[in-house]
Structure 1
Amino acid sequence: MGLLEDLQSKILIGDGAMGTLLHAHGIDNCFEELNITKPEDIFNIHKAYQKAGASVIQTNTYGANFPKLKRYGAEEKVKDINIEGVRLAKKAVGDSGYVLGTIGGIRSFQKSIISLEEIKRSFREQLFWLLSEDVDGLLFETFYDLEELKTVLEIARHETDKPIVTNVSLHEKGVLQDGTPIVKALKILEELGADVVGTNCRQGPYHMLEILEEVPLLDKSFLSAYPNASLPQYVDGRLIYETDPDYFYKTALAFKDQGVRLLGGCCGTTPSHIEAMAKALKNAVPITEKTVKEAPPIEVLSQEIQAQPHLHEIVQEKHSIIVELDPPKKLGVDKFLKGAHALQAAGIDALTLADNSLASPRISNLAMASLLKDQLKTRPLIHLTCRDHNLIGLQSHLMGMHTLGFNQVLALTGDPSKIGDFPGATSVYDLSSFDLIRLIKQFNEGVSFSGKPLGQKTNFSIAGAFNPNVRHLDRAVQRLEKKVDCGADYFISQPIYSIEQLEDVYEATKSLKAPIYIGIMPLTGAKNARFLHHEVPGIKLSENILTRMEKIEHDKEQSAKEGILLAKELIDRAYELFNGLYLITPFMRYEMTVELANYIKAKELVSIERKI
C-alpha cells in the first residue's frame, strides 16, 4: 500500500508544528539547521508525533532552501540539511507511516524580493536532495502566492510521479491574496498534477472549516487541512497559542464531514492536538458525497467615471506641468497655501505633495491635499512611501485617498530614515516600490492585498519614480520597464542639470510605453549648486554652471535670477523632447517655480499661435 492507496479508504493524520515545540525549549534560530546540529531534538519531535497517532510525518525542511538558509549563513548546507531531514523522519517513522519531503513557500507579500527564476533554482536544488533520499511524497505548504506554487508544482510533477500535497495559505476567508477564489485555486492545482490539495496555516479550525464548506470534493485530488491551533497572543515578544486539544477532537469530526482525508496541524499545534484528532478519527470512513455551501457573490462596484483626465492621459495629448511643493516642516500652512494659490494661477496641472521627503517629518501630505481640495481647484498628486507605512498602513492610506476623492499617486520606496532628522527611526519597507505599484493596481481591480473585495474599484493613476542620475542609464530604464509591467502609468524624474543628459534620457526612454515628466529644479545659489554637485549621488553640474553660480555667490537676488535662467535653458530643450515637465520648488521659494511655469505656458501659447 502507498499513501494515495491509503487515502482512497482512510483519513490519515499528519503531524503538527515543529517550530512551536522548538520555541518551547528555548530554541530561536534556524530550525532546519538543527537537522545536522541537534538531530536528536528533531528525531524526538518526529517520534512524539508518531506516538500521538500521526501516520504522515513531514521532514524538518520547510525553509531548507538557499535564500532562506542564507539568512543564517547556512546556504552552503542545503544538501546536508535536506538529506538529514529525510533520514531523521524515516528513522522516527520506520515502517508505520509515510514521510513527506516538505518545501515551504518563499514569497510572502514582497513579490519583488525574489524572482521566479531564483525560486526555480533554489526549489530544484532542494527537490533533488529530498528525492535522492526516496521520500514517500512531497508536501508544499504555506504558499500565499499562487504563481509561485503553480511554478514549483509543474517542476516537481515533471521530475517525479511520487504523491504531491499542495497547501495554500489565505489571509482572508475564501480567497488567495491575488483574489483567486479558493475553489478555483485548488482546481488549478489538481489540473497541474497535485494529488492532495488544501490549506494550512493562518487560520484555526473555525475559519478553515468555513472555507472548506465552499469546496467540493474533487475528481482527481483528495482534500487536506492543517489548521493553526488558534489565533495567537503576543506575549513578551513571542506568539502564544492556547487552544485546548479537546477542541481539536471535536473539530476533527467536522473536517471529516467536509471531505478532508489528510488532517494535520500547523502553528501552535502539539502532539496533544494531533493525539486528539487521531482518537476522534480512529476507524473513521471518508465521505464520498458532500453538500457544498454556495459562496456569497462578490460584488465590486466600479468607481464613478472620472470627470478630469488622469495626468498620464493629459501628458500624452499636450504639454503638462506638475509642481512639487513640499508640505511644511513646521505647523502653520499660510505660506504653503499662498504658494499653492500662485501656482494654480500659473495654470499647472497638479501639485505634487511629498511624503516626508528626505526622511524628515512634515505635515501629512494627505492633510495638505485635503486643504487644497477645500480651498483650491488644483489637483493634488500624493506621494506614498514604503519607508513610513507598513502593509496595513499603506492599504489604509490608499483607502483614505480614494474616500477623499484623490486618485493621483506616486509610489516610492522612500529615502532611508538614516539620512533624515531621526536617523535611529525605523524604516519599514514591508513593500518595495514595485510591490506598491502592484498593490495599487490591484486596488483598481477592487481587491485588497489579502484578496478580499474592497467593495469598490479605485481609480488611481500610478506614477513611478525615475532616477536618471546613475552611472548606467540602461539599467535605470530596465527598472522603468519593470515598473510598467507592475502597473505604472507614467514616471516622474529626479532633476536633470544638463542638456546633454536630457538628450541621453530621451534616446534611452523613447521606446518606453509610459510617458515621463522630466524634473527641473532651479538652483538658488552657489552653495546649493556645490551641495548638489558634491553630495547628492549621481548629480554632477558642469564647470560652466558651477562657475556661473560662483561668480555671483554673494548676490542672492542675482543668484536666483541665474538659477532661473539656467532652468529656462533646460526647459527649452526639455519642452522639445518631452511633453511632461516636473518643476521642483526649492526651499519653498514658490515664486521661482511660478516664473518657470509662466515661462512654459508662454511657450505653449506661442506654439498654438504658430499652428493657427
Structure 2
Amino acid sequence: MKRSLEERLKDGTVIAGEGYLFELERRGYLQAGSFVPEVALDNPEALKQTYRDFMFSGSDVVLAFTYNAHREKMRIIGKEDLLEPLNRNAIRLAKEVAKEHPVEEALVAGNISNTNIFDPEDPASKEKVRSMFAEMVGWCKEEQVDYINGETFYYHEEAVIALEEIQNKELPAVITLGLMGENILRDGYSVEESCRILSEKGALVVGMNCFRGPDTMQPYLEKICKTVDGHVAGLPVPYRTTEEHPTFFNLPDGGCSCHGSLETSFPTALDPLYHNRYELAAWAKEAKAIGVNYIGLCCGASPAMLRAVAEAVGIETLNSKYSPNMEKHFLFGEDETLKSHNLGYRTKA
C-alpha cells in the first residue's frame, strides 16, 4: 500500500514536482499569457508524458495540472463549459501515471490556486472565490485524490478560504504562498505570520512557492521554519532573482532587448536568467538543513533540475541512472580507453 503524504513527511523529505505551466509552454502545448491548462483535454498524452517525466525525476506526487483551471480563467478564454471536464481529466491522467511508479505508487494531488479576483474590501469577491474553490475541491474529492495543493496565494485571507474548503471535504492540505515584490502579503500579513495561522488552522504543510528564486525565497523560508511547528514547503522558481528584483516578473536581462510586446523578460524570455542545476541542488541542501521537508521547484523547472534537487537531499530517483557522468566524455573524461589526442584539447576547445 502506498504511504500517505503525512507518512512520507514523517519518513523524510517529500519531493514535489511542479513547473508544468512553463514546461508545457516550452513543449508547445500551452499558450503563454492566458496560461490555461487546456492541454488536459487537447493533448492528454503530452500532459501524461510531462507528469511521467517529473515523477521519474524524483517527484513523490503527481500534481493534477489544474493550476488556473478555475471558473474565472475559463471565463476569460470563453470556455466555462469545459471547466469540469478539464479538471476531472487532469486528475484522471495524473492517477494513471501515478500507478506507473515501479517502486511505490505516487501520490496524486488536486490543485487550486490564486484566482486573481480576490478583493479584501469586497465581500462578494470572497464568496465568489469560495464558490470557485468549493466546486474544484468537490471534483477532487469525487476523483479520490490523496490531498490538495493550494498554491500561489498572495492574499492571506484567500489562502484561508482555500484551506477551509479543502477541510470541508476532509482532505489533507498543502498551502503555499506567493510573495510579490512588496515582501509582504497584499492584505498586510507577513509570510511567516500567515503560515503560522494556516498551520494552526490545520494545514498539513505550509510554505512558499513561485514568484521568487532560491536567493530571494530562502530568507523567508528561514523565518517560516522558526515560526511554524509543522511541515514546511519551499518551491522556488529556478531563476536568479535578486534583492533589487526579488521576483521573476520584472527580472531584467541586460544582454537582450528583444522581449516581445511587453518589453520584459517575463514570461517568454527568461531563458538566460536560469540557475543551473548545481545552484538549485545547493539551495535544496540549504533548505533541508533549516527544516524544509516538502521541497520542489515551480514555474520554469525541468525534470533534470528536479532530479538534481532530489539527489541533493539524498534521494535516488528512477532516472538517476541518467544523471551526469563525465567519465567517458571524449574531451573531459578519465576513462583509460579515451583517445589522448582528444584529451589534449580540453583547455583549447
What residue in structure 2 maps to residue 205 of structure 1?
Answer: 214
C-alpha contact 1:15 1:265 (8 A) present in aligned 2: yes
Task: Output aligned runs, 1:89-488, within 5 Å.
Answer: 89-94=94-99, 95-107=104-116, 115-160=125-170, 162-172=171-181, 175-216=184-225, 221-230=230-239, 231=241, 232=248, 235-237=258-260, 238-241=268-271, 242-283=274-315
What RMSD in Å do the two structures reach over aligned CA positions?
A: 2.2
**Partners in 1 of 2:95 and 2:109 — Cα distance?**
10
What residue in structure 1 maps to residue 19 of structure 2?
Answer: 17
Of 62, 74, 79, which aligns to 2:79? 74
**Partners in 1 of 2:259 and 2:181 — Cα distance?**
27
Shift in CA distance, 251/82, structure 1 to aligned 2, threshold 3 Å: same
**Partners in 2 of 1:96 and 1:141 — Cα distance?**
23
**Unaligned stretches of 5+ residues in structure 2:** 242-247, 261-267, 317-349
**Partners in 2 of 1:169 and 1:40 — Cα distance?**
30
TM-score (structure 2 length as normaliser) = 0.76
**Partners in 1 of 2:82 and 2:199 — Cα distance?**
33
C-alpha contact 1:217 1:223 (8 A) present in aligned 2: no
Shift in CA distance, 32/185, structure 1 to aligned 2, threshold 3 Å: same
C-alpha contact 1:13 1:53 (8 A) present in aligned 2: yes
What residue identity is the alignment partner of 1:45? T
Percent identical:
27
2:82 is equivalent to residue 83 of structure 1: no
TM-score (structure 1 length as normaliser) = 0.44
Cα shift at 1:174: 5.4
Q: Report Cα offsets for 1:58-77 as digits up to 9, x if no partner.
A: 11101111111111122112
Cα shift at 1:155: 2.2
SS in 1 for 2:17: coil
Shift in CA distance, 31/124, structure 1 to aligned 2, threshold 3 Å: same
2:16 is equivalent to residue 3 of structure 1: no
Task: Output aligned runs, 1:577-592, within 5 Å.
Answer: none
Cα shift at 1:119: 0.9
Cα shift at 1:191: 1.8
**Partners in 2 of 1:111 and 1:43 — Cα distance?**
37
Task: Return the index of the structure with the highest Cα Rg.
Answer: 1
**Unaligned stretches of 5+ residues in structure 1:** 285-612
**Partners in 2 of 1:214 and 1:172 — Cα distance?**
17
**Partners in 2 of 1:255 and 1:70 — Cα distance?**
38
What residue identity is the alignment partner of 1:165? V
**Partners in 2 of 1:138 and 1:151 — Cα distance?**
13
What residue identity is the alignment partner of 1:224? A
Q: Report Cα offsets for 1:454-500 as digits up to 9, x if no partner.
A: xxxxxxxxxxxxxxxxxxxxxxxxxxxxxxxxxxxxxxxxxxxxxxx
What residue in structure 2 maps to residue 608 of structure 1?
Answer: none
Q: Report Cα offsets for 1:184-235 as digits up to 9, x if no partner.
A: 1111101221100000111101111111222235665200011011144575
Q: Report Cα offsets for 1:340-387 as digits up to 9, x if no partner.
A: xxxxxxxxxxxxxxxxxxxxxxxxxxxxxxxxxxxxxxxxxxxxxxxx
**Partners in 1 of 2:131 and 2:187 — Cα distance?**
24
What residue identity is the alignment partner of 1:5? E
What residue in structure 2 maps to residue 43 of structure 1?
Answer: 48
Shift in CA distance, 219/243, structure 1 to aligned 2, threshold 3 Å: closer
SS in 2 for 1:165: strand
Shift in CA distance, 103/83, structure 1 to aligned 2, threshold 3 Å: same
Cα shift at 1:80: 0.8
Shift in CA distance, 7/218, structure 1 to aligned 2, threshold 3 Å: farther
**Partners in 1 of 2:117 and 2:223 — Cα distance?**
25
2:56 is equivalent to residue 33 of structure 1: no
Shift in CA distance, 108/254, structure 1 to aligned 2, threshold 3 Å: farther
What residue identity is the alignment partner of 1:72? I
**Partners in 2 of 1:73 and 1:121 — Cα distance?**
19
**Partners in 2 of 1:215 and 1:72 — Cα distance?**
37
Task: Output aligned runs, 1:460-539, within 5 Å.
Answer: none
**Partners in 1 of 2:71 and 2:133 — Cα distance?**
9
**Partners in 2 of 1:107 and 1:146 — Cα distance?**
13
C-alpha contact 1:20 1:270 (8 A) present in aligned 2: no
SS in 2 for 1:88: helix
C-alpha contact 1:16 1:271 (8 A) present in aligned 2: no
Cα shift at 1:14: 0.7
C-alpha contact 1:173 1:207 (8 A) present in aligned 2: no
Shift in CA distance, 108/79, structure 1 to aligned 2, threshold 3 Å: closer
Give the total of aligned pairs. 283
C-alpha contact 1:226 1:264 (8 A) present in aligned 2: yes
**Partners in 2 of 1:217 and 1:163 — Cα distance?**
23
C-alpha contact 1:60 1:102 (8 A) present in aligned 2: yes
Cα shift at 1:133: 0.7
**Partners in 1 of 2:141 and 2:199 — Cα distance?**
21
SS in 1 for 2:293: strand
User: Bigger shift: 96-105 or 111-120?
Assistant: 111-120
C-alpha contact 2:37 2:66 (8 A) present in aligned 1: yes
Cα shift at 1:96: 2.7
Q: Report Cα offsets for 1:383-434 as digits up to 9, x if no partner.
A: xxxxxxxxxxxxxxxxxxxxxxxxxxxxxxxxxxxxxxxxxxxxxxxxxxxx
